[in-house]
Structure 1
């Protein structure tokens, strides 16, 4: 994936006005949104302009009210919600995985990692690939004495938020020294912008390791390892293991929950919901009732018919309970305090 912008530059006509729904944020969900929005145009003729700029940038643009919706793999931090100029709602649109991808010439076996080992790599404590901690997890694999090149995000990133949330759950040292956020003070590493940026570093650098969304690893043919889950099982990310992680928890009424380090022997431990964030009341700035209706129409499609495109791109479709919660939240959107007309 090398493109940062999914732009379907087409128009939605409502009377004499041409309307465009705009969104920005998560690169994690970009491959799915690119397909969804192209299909949405084919079915409806409506316009969608989505910019894959990272979850942090998407949240900022929504805060500044320069876009209609933000996409993010983590919720707006509770400490920041009050700073938005209106009430926001957050609901899931898909479920995916963050995987430890690597470039080790000559190593054909799929490597095993534990959370603490990944934390030590990103803390800079494990510096070479044949370190005893990695070798112990991978008996029989000849690991090269290559230096470990740590690749991480340089931008505000929901993928970072998910990865550091996981590391904070499995490594007390990581939690105390670095913590969890869309942007952190990295102890080591080379930064790349977006999932495609980190993918590019890993693919072009022997000895590199990076955390990327599953679809990027598969589409770029980058090796990635299995990760030990809470039950002690080493699990590789796929649709079944991500679905198992989501099934281990119930989505609350607020529409937001962390599913990293989920329980269950089949659960992949770095799984996550990815979300859409919008203002509950759509009457602000120069927005019209038609703008609000176009946005609501799109969002309803994304969490219903649009879910048909998740599986082929290695995202898990919303379970019925999450889909119902998303529909309730979208249905509660208003324009000037009144229900949005269809």
Structure 2
């Protein structure tokens, strides 16, 4: 057995305590939530299940909003969100709720513009207008001015947005609110659910990628690894320093490095508009949501084991997929929270 999961013996003992045997089906441990970290979580789960035949761990990519709903209702063993739980939501969980950052991802603006490749520059004065539903053409003078070498088409940009509650939407609108007075005055706000005007609305990050892929002149926001997997072109966005930056590990790490990692007691942190000339401007964290108390030792050990490995060797896999490894101080604090999860006896 590989060294990646150090609690295998504990899990085995736990299985014996609950009368697991080779003849019985593996015990299910079910999570649900954000589509943004889904590629990472599925990769980690694949490694976990290979090493733990007595446990069947699964994750359903249903969006942050639905994942939070199921978590608050006690319908899942853990959840994931790209928008942190609020104090009010945490207070609803009788067993207690812990938020554990597991990854950072870049939110990109991917487009479908035949004849053009990666890196069309989009000014921060322009792309908020697109998602406000205002008519903006690809050859808008403000876009053309920063792309003088391109003969951009006289065609309306078609925004693609998320339908339903979404952590990616929360992070994206948090950024738009930080950079655009028009957005702040629009009343649309910063939220997981937005009443988007004049846009094509779809479910989940992969849905956004697919809609952009089949819609000429489309521009949609989504997590970087999803856009990369779909072979979509992505824009170079103007950052706070006035530089146009493409998404990459280097530009994402620069954004994290320029931001103080001041985590509050619930491990919440948001980076709406990072500073620095080499920073990519839209970056968001994803959290695994766990209960503070578990009644089942198998579930507690499985979830703890999965996350411990994900915060260690799993960070390298996250990087390979297109996510940004967490800073070491954040990993340390995440492990401290994880180590405080407790097993309690079920009351009868």
Q: TM-score, normalised by structure 1?
A: 0.89
How many residue pairs end up in the alignment? 323
Among 37, 42, 45, the alignment partner of 2:50 is 42
1:21 and 1:308 map into 2 onto residues whose CA distance is 24
2:299 to 281, 291, 296: 291
What residue is the counterpart of 1:248 in the other structure? 258
SS of the aligned residue for 2:125 comes to: helix
Q: What is the distance in 1 between the residues matched to 2:190 and 2:175?
A: 8
Shift of 1:253: 4.3
- What is the correspondence of 1:234-245 to structure 2 with a 5 Å cutoff? 234-245=244-255
Aligned to 2:151: 142
Q: Deviations over 1:263-303 (max 9, x none)?
A: 122111101121111121224xxxx2332222222222221
User: In the alignment, which residue of structure 1 is the partner of 2:176?
Assistant: 167
SS in 2 for 1:47: strand
Instruction: Tell me how far apart the structure 2 counterparts of residues 107 and 306 of structure 1 sit (CA, whole Å).
Output: 35
Query: Larger C-alpha radius of gyration, 1 or 2?
Result: 2
- Inter-partner Cα distance in structure 1 for 2:319 and 2:88: 34
Q: Which residue of 2 aligns with 1:314?
A: 322
Cα distance between partner residues in 1 of 2:95 and 2:126: 42
Structure 2 portions without partners, runs of 5+: 1-10, 21-25
Question: Does 2:125 correspond to 1:113?
Answer: no
2:44–2:306 CA contact under 8 A, matched in 1: no
Distance in 1 separating the partners of 2:103 and 2:339? 18
| Structure 2 residue corresponding to 1:336, chosen from 316, 328, 344 | 344
Partner residue of 1:66? 75
Q: How does 1:167-186 map to 2 (within 5 A)?
A: 167-177=176-186, 178-186=188-196
Report the TM-score, using the length of structure 2 for normalisation: 0.88
Matched, 1:230 2:240: yes
Cα distance in 1, alignment partners of residues 190 and 232 from structure 2: 26
Cα deviation code 1:104-132 (max 9, x no counterpart) = 11223621113331110011223322222
Which residue in the other structure is 1:276 paired with?
A: 288
What is the distance in 2 between the residues matched to 1:109 and 1:245?
Answer: 21
Rounded Cα–Cα distance in structure 2 between residues aligned with 1:42 and 1:86: 30
Tell me if the contact between 1:107 and 1:142 (Cα under 8 Å) persists in the aligned partners. Answer: no
| Correspondence for 1:198 | 208
Among 218, 221, 230, the residue aligned to 1:208: 218
Deviations 1:115-173 (A, max 9, x none): 33111001122332222232223222111122221100012111111111100100122
Runs of 5+ in structure 1 lacking a partner? 1-10, 338-342
The offset of 1:35, in angstroms, is 1.5
After TM superposition, the structure 1 stretch with the greater mean CA deviation from structure 2, 160-169 or 82-91, is: 82-91
Q: Residue 20 of structure 1 aligns with which residue?
A: 28
Query: Is the aligned partner of 1:57 residue 2:66?
Result: yes
1:14 match: secondary structure: helix
Does residue 305 in structure 1 map to residue 313 in structure 2? yes
- Compute the displacement of 1:62 (Å): 0.3
